Amino acid sequence: MSTYPPLNALRIFESAARLESFSSAADELFVTHGAVSKQIKQLEEWLGVRLFERAGGRVKLTDTGWRYLIQVQDGLDLIANATSQLLQPDNQRRLTVNSTPTLAMHWLMPRLHAFRDSYPDVELHLVTSDRDISRLDSPFDIAIRRGPGDWPGHIAKPFLEEWELPLCAPTLLKRKPVHNPGDLAAHTLLYADTRPTAWQRWLTLAGVPELKPACSLHFDRFSLALQAAVDGLGVVLGPLPMAQAHIDSGLLLAPLVSPVVPVRDYCWIVPRTAADDATVDAFCRWLEQEAGSMPPFSPSGPNGTPTMRHAAAD
């Protein structure tokens, strides 16, 4: 017991380090800023090291603090997972999956019934977030993010490739045809804050890096930009396979079948403390199988629209 630091101070340290703010930690834990500062000081004195650098009213983790945070988070995750399993019925396992909103809505949810059919005793808890996993407010069994990333204390593996190409509603295309990348200058381009450089990357590879659209619309989430395209408000740079259902249903068309720009793969990410969990392993294997069972990708399918392929990640 003598090697245990003050546990309350440890909890406050994890919050302050994750949020990089004593004030934010105080708000999260419903204590005062002074209480957070006092507990951090107590922990530093107990450890005999500085965990934070303080300058101009701001705090920043030291290198020692970063290393300690990773290990502390692993320990707290282990406690949280053990407690969660203990509080559940013997025949039920709760699995928390933290996914980006776009993948959850357009790829994962339409397929979840297959996993539930195979594992009816698993209670799935799906949470969506765009935040880095180091800044999440609650523990998870599996996270899904685009990678590769810097995820210390976790194991990760790419399982799903993604491509981007322009998509728009058929009614918009009838009014303003698009035969080559330069024709996009007559259109409104739809942007998502979560993919800020996507259009510029595509336009550069298409050979029109200086193209100025007639108008631009910006959205904080890609799902809104995608819906705006369905509603005929403009052209979105849609990711495949996320937008494949919209293409298959005829809600969106791909006026230009090239260039099809590859972007970062989606990865499953698991805390090392959960690496040997059979249910976690089963879900990760299921993700890989679902991605691997997708039909091949061809820039121009039988009707002149894209169809998907899956290829091994680099």
Non-local (6+) Cβ contacts of 26 within 8 A are 32, 33, 35, 36
Choose between 303 and 285: higher pLDDT. 285
The tens digit of pLDDT for each residue in 100-110 reads: 988 998 899 99
As a whole number, mean pLDDT of residues 57-68 equals 86
Q: Which helix (H) or strand (E) holds 118?
A: helix 112-118
Report residue 39 as tokens. 């507990």
Report residue 268 as tokens. 């499953």
Kindly indicate the confidence band of residue 182, based on its pLDDT and cuts at 50, 70 and 90: very high
Choose between 155 and 73: higher pLDDT. 155
Asked whether 278 and 161 are in contact (CB, 8 A), the reply is no
Kindly indicate the confidence band of residue 85, based on its pLDDT and cuts at 50, 70 and 90: low
Kindly indicate the confidence band of residue 304, based on its pLDDT and cuts at 50, 70 and 90: very low
Asked if the model's pLDDT at residue 87 lies above 60, the reply is: yes
As a whole number, mean pLDDT of residues 149-162 equals 90
Report residue 100 as tokens. 């980006």
Kindly indicate the confidence band of residue 169, based on its pLDDT and cuts at 50, 70 and 90: very high
Kindly indicate the confidence band of residue 190, based on its pLDDT and cuts at 50, 70 and 90: very high
Q: Which amino acid is at 217?
A: L
Out of 92-96, 178-182, 253-257, which region has the weakest mean confidence (pLDDT)? 92-96
As a whole number, mean pLDDT of residues 250-271 equals 90
Separation of CA 51 from chain center: 29
At 307 the pLDDT is 46
At 67 the pLDDT is 87
Asked if the model's pLDDT at residue 309 lies above 50, the reply is: no
As a whole number, mean pLDDT of residues 175-187 equals 94
Out of 3-12, 42-51, 74-83, which region has the weakest mean confidence (pLDDT)? 74-83
Rg of the chain in Å (alpha carbons): 23
At 312 the pLDDT is 29
Kindly indicate the confidence band of residue 222, based on its pLDDT and cuts at 50, 70 and 90: confident
Sketch out the chain's domains with CATH numbers: 7-83 (1.10.10.10), 91-314 (3.40.190.290)
As a whole number, mean pLDDT of residues 10-14 equals 90
Choose between 81 and 237: higher pLDDT. 237
The terminus-to-terminus CA distance of the chain in angstroms comes to 47
Backbone angles phi, psi at 195, to 5 degrees: -135, 60
At 89 the pLDDT is 57
Kindly indicate the confidence band of residue 58, based on its pLDDT and cuts at 50, 70 and 90: confident
What rounded mean pLDDT belongs to the chain?
85
Asked whether 308 and 241 are in contact (CB, 8 A), the reply is yes
- Beta-strand ranges (E) seen in the chain are 52-55, 58-61, 93-99, 122-128, 142-146, 154-167, 188-192, 215-219, 235-240, 261-271, 297-298, 307-308
At 303 the pLDDT is 41
Alpha-carbon dihedral of residues 285, 291, 293, 296, nearest 10 degrees?
-160
At 150 the pLDDT is 84
